[in-house]
Amino acid sequence: MSSAWKLPDTLTVNGRDMAIRTDYRDILEILRACSDPELPSWARTEVMLKILYVDFDTLKPEELQEAADKAVAFIDNGSEADQDPKRPSPRLMDWEQDAELIVPAINRVANCGDIRSLSYLHWWTFLGYYMEIGECLFSSVLNIRYKRAHGKKLDKWEKDFEKENRRLISLKKTMSETEKQKLREEKAAVDALFGL
């Protein structure tokens, strides 16, 4: 049977099957860490590997790149990345910020009460539910963000909706402590310049 019809619980690294954590909450934790501006790239990769691979400590240094590539493919629902890394697409959603919109939309698709009450839900099943989200508040928010990011004109109802729901539409910019400190220093310099 094709692997597309199975939910993986291992990834093959250097010829050996390695157990992985597959609950959607574990993967969301990886995605949260990967969007942390305080973590350098190498630390994000390390966090991903430590969370995903049950026996991370058995990985040899020469296996880390393959393990990371397999991890990324697993998180991407088994797909190889088809996006040009030099041209990243605009950020349209944030798993943490949008959780209050995503959970009800997935609950409707999953038809199982509240997914948060499930003791286990495989990441690929969660992603399948996510991909089947139809017309709902979350899809309206995503559509407006998409149009804004691509310079497309909003319909009248979308403009009204955006005005009334700015908190939902606007994605918070995540800044590192260094960036925040620089911003504070610039503000203090402007205040000093104008005697504020």
| Measured CA distances, 121 to 109, 124, 128, 129 (Å) | 14, 8, 11, 11
120 and 63 in a common domain:
no
* Residue 196 shares a structural domain with residue 109: yes
Residue-range definition of the domain harbouring residue 20: 3-75
Residue at which a domain ends, from 18, 40, 75: 75
Instruction: Quote the pLDDT of residue 173.
Output: 78
Could you tell me if residue 90 is inside a domain? no
- Residues 58 and 139 placed together within one structural domain of the fold: no
Burial state string for 80-101 with b = 16 or more CB within 10 A and e = fewer than 16: eeeeeeeeeeeebeeeeebeeb
Q: State both tokens at 54.
A: 């049950």
Give domain status of residue 86, yes or no: no
In a domain? residue 13: yes
Distances (CA, A) of 191 to 177, 182, 185: 21, 14, 10
Please state the domain count of the chain.
Answer: 2
| pLDDT given for residue 120 in this prediction | 98
Quick check: 192 pLDDT over 90?
no
Q: Does one domain contain both 71 and 105? A: no
> Could you read off the pLDDT of 119-158 as tens digits, one per residue?
999 999 999 999 999 999 999 999 999 999 999 999 999 9
The per-residue pLDDT for 30 is 97
Amino acid identity, position 94: D
What is the mean predicted confidence (pLDDT) over 169-193? 72
Residue 84 in domain:
no
3-state secondary structure 27-94: HHHHHHHHCCCCCCHHHHHHHHHHHHECCHHHCCHHHHHHHHHHHHHHHCCCCCCCCCCCCCCCCCCC
Is there a single domain that holds both residue 67 and residue 144?
A: no
pTM score of the predicted model = 0.82
Same domain? 172 vs 121: yes
